Amino acid sequence: MKLTNQDQVQSLDPVFGRMAAQVGQQAWSLPQLTIREKAFGFLAADLCTANLGFPLATHVQMAGANGVSVAECLAAGEPKPVNPEAQQLPAEVRAGLADLSEQFAELVADQFAQRWGEDNELTPRERALCCLATDVVNQTLDESLALHVELAVAAGAGRSEIHAVLLLVAEYGIAKAWRAHRALHHVAVTDNQKGSTLS
**Is the per-residue pLDDT at 79 higher than 80?**
no
Answer positive or negative: Cα dihedral of 138, 142, 144, 148. positive
**Is the per-residue pLDDT at 166 higher than 90?**
yes
Question: Among candidates 24, 48, 27, 46, which has minimal Cα distance to 139?
Answer: 48
What's the mean pLDDT when you consider all of the chain?
81
φ and ψ of 101, to 5 deg:
-170, 125
- How many angstroms separate the CA atoms of 132 and 148, rounded? 6
The pLDDT value given to residue 134 = 93
**Is the per-residue pLDDT at 180 higher than 80?**
yes
How many other C-beta atoms are found inside a 10 Å radius of the C-beta of residue 151?
21
**Is the per-residue pLDDT at 190 higher than 60?**
no
Q: Mean pLDDT throughout 90-98?
A: 92
**Is the per-residue pLDDT at 54 higher than 70?**
yes
Spatial neighbors of 170 by CB under 8 A, at least 6 apart, are: 23, 27, 176, 177
- How many angstroms separate the CA atoms of 151 and 177, rounded? 20
The pLDDT value given to residue 84 = 47
- How many angstroms separate the CA atoms of 46 and 53, rounded? 9
Kindly report, residue by residue over 2-41, the tens digit of the pLDDT. 556 666 666 777 776 677 777 777 888 899 999 889 888 9
The pLDDT value given to residue 81 = 45
Identity of the residue numbered 50 = A
The pLDDT value given to residue 183 = 94
- pLDDT above 90 coverage of the chain, percent: 38
Kindly report, residue by residue over 104-151, the tens digit of the pLDDT. 999 999 888 877 776 667 888 998 999 999 999 999 999 999 999 999
Distances (CA, A) of 183 to 3, 89, 127, 179, 187: 31, 22, 20, 6, 6
All structural domains of the chain, each given as residue ranges with its CATH number in brackets, are 6-80+119-193 (1.20.1290.10)
Kindly report which listed range (28-37, 71-80, 141-150, 180-189) carries the lowest average pLDDT score. Answer: 71-80
The pLDDT value given to residue 138 = 94
> Do 35 and 66 meet the contact criterion of CB atoms below 8 Å apart?
yes
**Is the per-residue pLDDT at 197 higher than 50?**
no
112 or 193: which leads in pLDDT: 112
Number of H helices, E strands in the chain: 11, 0
Give the orientation angle of helix 124-138 with respect to helix 174-193, to 10 degrees. 120
